[in-house]
A and B are shown apart, each in its own frame.
Chain A
Amino acid sequence: MQTQIGVGVLSLPSDLHQVAKQDGWISLAIAGAVLPVILFCLFLIGKQFPDSTFEQMTEKLFSKWGGRVFSFLYILYFSSVAALIILLFGRMISLWVLPNTPFWAIALCMVIVGLYLANGGLLVLARFYTMVSGLLPVLIILTLFSFQEVHLMYLMPIGESGISKIFEGASEAMLSFFGFFVSLVIFSEVEGKPRQKFIIILLAHFFTFFFYMITLLVSYTFFSTTELSLVPEPLLYMLKSFELPFVARIDLFFISVWFVSVATSYTTYLYIASLGLKQLFRTKSIKVFNLVISLFVYAFTLLIGFDVAKVDRHANVVVYGGYIFSFTIPIVMVVIILVMKPFQKRKEEAS
């Protein structure tokens, strides 16, 4: 369930900083507090259709063809998120570790890992995630190294940038939690009672939130306010300057570990995209669709490559897509469900 932590971790602090200055952490806190509401919406939807797949849900809600169109849009959205993850990953690796390696090689690594993992199916995915979630403490510990040089003063003054900015930052922060939407798609695939699932999702959410908060606070207190606006990946930058007795340059290790968590979030999107395709075409095997989507994503990312401007444009598209697909539509769905409920009941009574 911990797929939410992904590419965002590294650049989130500075993204937030651009909007809300040193009050970015308040924005994050607000985002973290608002999200459970949306999660609850998702839970309501999932509870309404405990046994049906996401595709069937949309079909029930938006009639047959409307549902299909929606599902298709979602598939498109998920694969573009996957593509964005690869693009950001490629950019990060190229900037920090392998400046001369061509994009296709870096992307290929990710695509292969994703394909191999997704072919294992949901069970293997879940097992792998629980296994690598053991790496999260490692990331946290690495982050905590920098507590030697913390200046709480840099968080002050609180509320300098104004409430509107903080809320703007909150919406920015919310984007880093986009992973939650995955939970709706695989809601019916996972065993267990809806309530249990909801609790798990909430726990996952709070864990992510906690993790983000730590990284954010550490980088906010380590870097001065102006400096932070210059450094796009403050966490890495911070680690770069520390040296342990046996190894220097912790950032390189951090990136290597981070690769794993990026791969997991990429695979999740890949998997749900091809799951959607599978349901759309009503076939048994998912492997073909995994391959199709991988190739599609790979080709797409090759077109964009390292070009920063294009990556940003794509990122913007995905972000707006995220607003629509992860916030608006679920809420609309909830509304429809609430409206339809009395009708359905009446129908049941009548029959």
Chain B
Amino acid sequence: MGFFKRLLFGDHKRLHDRESSDPDKEPEHPSSTKLSVNIDYLMHEFHRTSDLRIRILEKGQAALVYMESLVDQEKIHEMIFKPLELGDVEHISDIPNSKVTLNMEEAIQTLLRGHALYMEDGLRGVYQFRVTSSFNRSIEEPANEKVVRGSHDGFVENLMININLLRKRIENRNLTVKYYRLGKKTNNNIALVYIDGVTDPSLIQEIEYRLKYISADMIHSPGYVEEFIEDQTFSPFPQMLNTERPDRVTANLIEGRVAIMSEGSPTVLIAPSTFFSFYQSSDDYNMRWFTGTFVRLIRLASFIIAVCMPAFYIAVVSFHFEVIPNELVMPVKQSINGIAYPPLIEALVMVVIIELIREAGIRLPQPIGQTIGIVGGLVIGDAVVRAGLVSNLMVIVVALTAIASFVVPSNEMSTTLRLLTFPLILLAGTLGFIGITFGFMMILIHMTRLESFGVPYTSPIAPLRIKDLKDTFIRMPIYRMNNRPKDSRAVDKEVIGPSREWKQLERTNNEQQPAGSQEASQQASSESNQSSD
């Protein structure tokens, strides 16, 4: 809502200023007819960087300029020299697939993109050849979003390949890509992808509007973009879905959401996203819907476990031990009797240790990382219990919490969950159950207050939309999810038409010709008899 306010009341002046200042940012510098002037200008602009190569051709009458580090020598040969050698063309300037510009600034831009420039004395035009070299990782399944079944490709660092992956999946003229150049110094390419006619135009407008506001020297990863355009930065909850899976992006695009991709990062941002979208995995849709529902329910239960479990344990052992059932009283008492520290400290220490182990495991190379896991998990855990520093119940509780937090398909959400345990632990240590309820309520209120691009974060629970619950707690059979969820604010409602009508047809056919089907079954049985003979 704040956005509209800003749009209506304030910031008009600033917006205006920026628009007027835009042309200054890309100044025009006409190219000269003199080769030496042009070369000098380039040399000066690039501060005589060593990888700027200038090849003097035709006895000093022409020059080919390129960034050595950005171009592919093979391509230069292929595109520029081969036609010459073959005699197809007389001059380099005659080679058809070149682009001519009269603006040196533009030439500099293309040079930075890995083009080669050809200039001739006496000609104002600067010919640009696209000879960019690119080094790409092969398309692999993203390590942090593995699925059992389903497609095993993932985005890479190259924007073109990423868009290619999407276009292959959505062969539709309505799939629209819009480029933005962001980052004053780094000049990164950001792409906004959506399906026209499905996505709400006002949503696209709003995202564009927010993107245009970004004024930073560097846009180095989608995390930058996310923090610049999300509604609430002072929130532990991620408000945009991060994913590296093309199938996930495709599904979200079809649902009417917008994807924001950036050059140099395999991560794609999806907006608007709600709390529950972080709990959906593309795996769910490749399973039977019973199992999909089951798995999803377990995942959602893990949210409660991850956030509340240590707090609950602390509240029980230091406030309300009446809650422990009779049979468990003595075992629990046994395990915590000789512990020196209060449970609050115990829990904090253990949670921090788990985080340490996790962080150490990520940073270290794989073989060592696993060792750290074993050392941390088994050796430290065991030793700590034996030494009587931490009770074994606490180890169980904290370990369960950690496992529960890793169940979430989204890494961002999982870190959020682990962060949220801390305040709840503190509250449980001061006010017991009331503290937990208080904390949980604050979290819930915060979540209801959050909005992701005008979409309530907690939808479809609050505001309640029973239809959309089909894909929230449970996963209904896919043909039942025939409307797009409302939280994506899609314009076009229907996503799946009648797809299982054949079943009904079959049934009506059977009813119409009961005799015929009987005959058929008799025939079938006689056939089976024959075969058994």
Q: Which residues of A contact B (CB under 8 A)?
A: 93, 97-98, 101, 105-106, 109, 112-113, 116-117, 120, 124, 126-128, 130-132, 134, 243-249, 252-253, 255-257, 259-260, 263
B437 touches A256 (CB 8 A): yes
A-B CB contact pairs (8 Å), 27 listed: A93-B434, A97-B432, A98-B431, A98-B432, A106-B434, A109-B431, A109-B434, A112-B438, A117-B445, A120-B448, A126-B462, A128-B448, A128-B462, A130-B461, A131-B444, A131-B458, A131-B461, A132-B444, A244-B325, A247-B325, A248-B324, A248-B326, A249-B320, A252-B322, A252-B323, A255-B433, A257-B437
Q: How far is the CB of B318 from chain A (nearest CB, A)?
A: 12
B456 touches A127 (CB 8 A): yes
A256 touches B463 (CB 8 A): no
B 440-454 contacts with A by CB, 8 A:
441-442, 444-446, 448-449
Chain A binding site: helix, strand, loop or mixed by DSSP?
Answer: helix
B464 close to chain A: CB less than 8 A:
yes
| A residues in contact with B259, CB < 8 Å | none
| Given known contacts A113-B438, A131-B458, A259-B437, A126 and B463 CB-to-CB distance under 8 angstroms | yes
B434 touches A131 (CB 8 A): no
* Minimum-distance CB pairs A-B, first 4: A127-B462, A131-B462, A256-B437, A120-B449
| A residues in contact with B322, CB < 8 Å | 248-249, 252
Distance between Cα atoms of A290 and B444 in the complex (Å): 20
Distance between Cα atoms of A255 and B438 in the complex (Å): 12
Q: Work out how many contacts link A and B, with CB atoms closer than 8 A.
A: 89
Complex: chain B residue closest to A246, CB-CB: B325
B325 touches A256 (CB 8 A): no
Distance between Cα atoms of A93 and B511 in the complex (Å): 65
Most buried by A among B326, B431, B434: B434
B 73-98 contacts with A by CB, 8 A:
none
| Given known contacts A127-B462, A128-B448, A131-B458, A105 and B326 CB-to-CB distance under 8 angstroms | no
Distance between Cα atoms of A252 and B436 in the complex (Å): 12
Distance between Cα atoms of A255 and B431 in the complex (Å): 13
B445 touches A124 (CB 8 A): yes
Q: How far is the CB of B524 from chain A (nearest CB, A)?
A: 50
- A97-B432, A109-B435, A112-B442 given. 10 additional CB < 8 A pairs? A98-B434, A113-B438, A113-B442, A116-B442, A116-B446, A120-B448, A124-B445, A130-B461, A259-B437, A263-B441
Complex: chain A residue closest to B461, CB-CB: A131
B462 touches A260 (CB 8 A): no
Q: Which residues of B contact A (CB under 8 A)?
A: 319-320, 322-326, 431-438, 441-442, 444-446, 448-449, 456, 458, 461-464
| A residues in contact with B462, CB < 8 Å | 126-128, 130-131
B325 touches A243 (CB 8 A): yes
| A residues in contact with B323, CB < 8 Å | 247-249, 252
Most buried by A among B319, B445, B449: B445
B461 touches A260 (CB 8 A): no
Most buried by B among A113, A124, A244, A260: A124
Distance between Cα atoms of A56 and B319 in the complex (Å): 50
| A residues in contact with B431, CB < 8 Å | 98, 101, 105, 109
Chain B binding site: helix, strand, loop or mixed by DSSP?
Answer: helix
Q: How far is the CB of A58 from chain B (nearest CB, A)?
A: 29
Q: How far is the CB of A184 from chain B (nearest CB, A)?
A: 23
Q: How far is the CB of A312 from chain B (nearest CB, A)?
A: 23
| A residues in contact with B442, CB < 8 Å | 112-113, 116
| A residues in contact with B435, CB < 8 Å | 109
| A residues in contact with B433, CB < 8 Å | 97, 252-253, 255-256
Complex: chain B residue closest to A89, CB-CB: B434
Instruction: Indicate which residue in A93, A98, A245 contacts B325 across the interface (CB closer than 8 Å).
Output: A245
Instruction: Indicate which residue in B445, B463, B464 contacts A113 across the interface (CB closer than 8 Å).
Output: B445
Distance between Cα atoms of A126 and B325 in the complex (Å): 38
A130 touches B464 (CB 8 A): yes
Q: How far is the CB of B457 from chain A (nearest CB, A)?
A: 10
Most buried by B among A101, A253, A256, A263: A256
| B residues in contact with A132, CB < 8 Å | 444
| B residues in contact with A101, CB < 8 Å | 431
B325 touches A127 (CB 8 A): no
Q: How far is the CB of B488 from chain A (nearest CB, A)?
A: 18
Complex: chain B residue closest to A257, CB-CB: B437
Distance between Cα atoms of A246 and B326 in the complex (Å): 9
| B residues in contact with A259, CB < 8 Å | 434, 437-438, 441
Q: How far is the CB of B279 from chain A (nearest CB, A)?
A: 16
| B residues in contact with A248, CB < 8 Å | 322-326
Most buried by B among A109, A127, A259, A263: A127
Distance between Cα atoms of A117 and B441 in the complex (Å): 9
Distance between Cα atoms of A243 and B444 in the complex (Å): 29
Q: How far is the CB of B333 from chain A (nearest CB, A)?
A: 15
| A residues in contact with B441, CB < 8 Å | 113, 259-260, 263
| A residues in contact with B461, CB < 8 Å | 130-131, 134
Distance between Cα atoms of A198 and B103 in the complex (Å): 69
B438 touches A109 (CB 8 A): yes
Complex: chain A residue closest to B445, CB-CB: A117
| B residues in contact with A117, CB < 8 Å | 445
| Given known contacts A131-B461, A260-B441, A243 and B434 CB-to-CB distance under 8 angstroms | no
B445 touches A120 (CB 8 A): yes
A131 touches B320 (CB 8 A): no
Complex: chain B residue closest to A108, CB-CB: B438
| B residues in contact with A130, CB < 8 Å | 461-464
Distance between Cα atoms of A217 and B444 in the complex (Å): 32
| B residues in contact with A112, CB < 8 Å | 438, 442
| Given known contacts A246-B325, A247-B323, A248-B322, A131 and B436 CB-to-CB distance under 8 angstroms | no
Q: How far is the CB of A154 from chain B (nearest CB, A)?
A: 28
| A residues in contact with B448, CB < 8 Å | 120, 124, 127-128, 131
| B residues in contact with A263, CB < 8 Å | 441
Distance between Cα atoms of A142 and B444 in the complex (Å): 22
Q: How far is the CB of B244 from chain A (nearest CB, A)?
A: 31
Complex: chain A residue closest to B456, CB-CB: A127
Q: How far is the CB of A238 from chain B (nearest CB, A)?
A: 16
